[in-house]
Amino acid sequence: MTTTGRHQDRTALVTGGSRGIGRAVAGRLAREGALVAVHYGHDHTAAERTVKEIEADGGRAFAIHAELGVPGDAATLWDAFDRALAARDAAPGVDIVVNNAGITLPRPIEHVTEEDYDRVFAINTKAPYFILQQALGRIRDGGRIITVSSGATRIAYPAIATYTMTKAALDSLTLSLALQLGPRGITVNSVAPGFTETEINPTLQNPQIRQALAAASVFNRLGAPADIADVVSFVASDEARWVTGQWIDATGGVHLGL
């Protein structure tokens, strides 16, 4: 089955789209025809590199900046998005929203400060909540909302308990929005990666940790950002029109035997 043109004439927003899973998702959606807004919080160079890679591959993309986890972040993001579309003479509105941006907090609960807690929730939970709130008036009927969750919300992993809580909250929001937006033909789903090779996980620099995490998958390897992007692209497509309110395991079968 070919997926060429799967997202033709659609507009997508990918938060945290300059690196890791977000970069792979932005590239995949663009290759399949979408005009992609590549959001970034701090790394302008990485965002521009992602846009240039997409354009070199024949796709269409533009970068937008908004620091997340600060007051007014969602409004700043959508204002940049709206202005960028207008500058391109593109139709206003959005068809696909991928909430991907986030930070990790690799500390057990006894070492988490209130400042740590507030920051990870501000970026990982509060920001996407209000991004989606302000997306409701922009997203077209038949649109797609996809949150990048985590396999850790279904597996006890004390080392990142606080991070996991931020993702579990969004899984719950997925259910509520799926019911609310169903009458408009909008699907809302969570895609949950497992141990994936991205910059967000500095422990992967340790060969022993890499080996242990790879062994958790039935495929005995770490996930690649492209593995997750492929799943997101499907969920964002018309082929997934009958799938909503779901938590989609994209962990590579982590801990299936336990």
Q: Which sequence positions are flagged as catalytic?
A: 149-150, 163, 167
The terminus-to-terminus CA distance of the chain in angstroms comes to 35
Contacts 24+ apart (CB under 8 A), 165-171: 165/121, 166/102, 166/120, 166/121, 166/124, 166/125, 167/102, 167/124, 167/192, 169/125, 170/99, 170/124, 170/125, 170/128, 170/129, 171/147, 171/247
Q: Which two tokens stand for residue 226?
A: 């492209």
Determine the Cα–Cα distance for residues 245 and 235; give it in Å rounded to an integer: 11
Give how far Cα 6 sits from Cα of 13, 167, 218, 234, Å.
16, 28, 30, 9
